Amino acid sequence: MTPRLRSLAVASAGAGLAPAVVPNALVDAFHASHALDVHSAHATLPRLEKVRLLAGWPEGLAALRCCFMIRVPDGPVQNCGQCEKCVRTMLEFLAVGALDRAPFPTRDVTPEAVERVAYADSLATRIFFAEVTPSLAAQGRDDLVRVIRRALAHQEMRLRRREPWWRRLVRE
C-alpha cells in the first residue's frame, strides 16, 4: 500500500499563545516518520502576513472554515460571520484588503460585531488587535479602530486592577 500523503504542513499559531496547546515548531517534527514529513508552515511570519498569502490563493480561500459554530450555516459559505473567530478572521481579511474575496456571509465588519468580541481578556486578543489596528486606521476605518482601542483600554484597566498595588509602585 503506497502512502498518499507524504508531507504535512502545520500552521504555526504565532507568539504569545500557550505552547502546550498550539502547534509548536520544536515538536512538529516528532510527529513525522520516514514516510511522512511534518513541518511548521511559515512559522516566522506574523499572522496578518499569512492572511495576505491566503488571500492570494483562491483554492485555499474556498476551503477556509474558521467558524467556532458547531452548526455549519446552510449554503456555500461555511462560516457564520458572527462568532468571535469569524469576526477576528474577517477583521484580518479587511486589514489586508481582501474581505470581498473571503468566504463569509457579509462583506463588511460592523463596530457592533467587533464590540461583541473585543473584550476577550487574553494576551492573544491584545496581540491580535495590536496587529490589525494600524492597517484598519490606514484604510480610514476609524469606527472599528475606536471600538478596538476602547476594548484594549478596558483590558488594560482590568489588568491594572488585578495587579497588587505595591507592584504598580515598583514598576513606576
Comparing 26-30, 102-106, 110-114, 133-137, which segment has the lowest mean pLDDT? 26-30
Matching residue, cell 477576528: 88
Domain boundaries in the chain?
1-44, 47-171
pTM of the complete model beyond 0.85: no
Max mean pLDDT range (13-17, 46-50, 112-116, 132-136): 132-136
Compute the mean pLDDT over every residue in the chain, rounded to the nearest whole number.
81
Residue 94: is it exposed, middle or buried by C-beta count within 10 angstroms (0-12/13-18/19+)?
buried
Tell me how far apart the terminal alpha carbons of the chain are, to the nearest angstrom: 66
What's the rounded mean pLDDT across residues 9-14?
64
More confident residue, 151 or 27: 151
- Spatial neighbors of 46 by CB under 8 A, at least 6 apart, are 14, 131
* DSSP helix/strand/coil, 83: coil
Per-residue pLDDT at 1: 41
* Cβ contacts of 149 within 8 Å, gap of 6 or more: 133
Convert the pLDDT of each residue in 152-168 to its tens digit: 888 888 777 776 666 66
